[in-house]
Amino acid sequence: MPSAKPQSLSSHARYVPGYHFALATMLLVLLVWSVVLVVRYPRWESLYGLLVAVSLVLIFWYMRSFAVRAQDRIIRLEERLRLGALLAADLQPRIPELTVEQLIALRFASDEELPELARRVLEARVTDGRAIKTLITQWRADHLRV
């Protein structure tokens, strides 16, 4: 369930404890244990266990990366539409110049702050997402991210 807590630069990261901490730790332990078994007892069964552990780690990694990539594409579309509605006419043709990383960072800016911040990002060629987030003074929370 989304959190209603206010977000800021220091508190906007989202961690799901069961996924990011419990499952990641279990998979890491399984992988290390499987390597130990292959080294100590080099049999087909231990090699099979290592292959299963590596497969599970890859599933864990790609499951997250595919979801984040899809989310980034949605954010890109959403922010381009938002910028199209909020930017002055002279800046609208420059919307395609913004990279996905810039758009992802700009999504946290309030509607009131976004036009001027987008201008600053484009004119100063600020490309680092964290640097853009530090420029935001009126944070717009995103509780629906993956």
What the block records as the tokens of 114 is 């976004």
End-to-end CA distance of the chain: 12
What does residue 102 show for φ and ψ, rounded to 5 degrees?
A: -65, -45
Structure tokens at 95: 């919307």
Distance CA 133, CA 128 (A): 9
- The pLDDT tens digits along the chain (146 residues) read 455 677 777 667 777 889 889 999 999 999 999 999 999 999 999 999 999 999 999 999 999 999 999 999 999 999 999 999 999 999 999 999 999 999 999 999 999 999 999 999 999 999 999 999 999 999 998 887 77
Q: 118 near 106, Cβ under 8 Å?
A: yes
Strand partners, 139: 109
Contact indicator for 120, 126 with CB cutoff of 8 Å = yes
pTM here? 0.77
CA dist., res. 8 & res. 140, Å (int)? 8
Amino acid occupying residue 112 = E
pLDDT of residue 4: 62
pLDDT at 1: 46
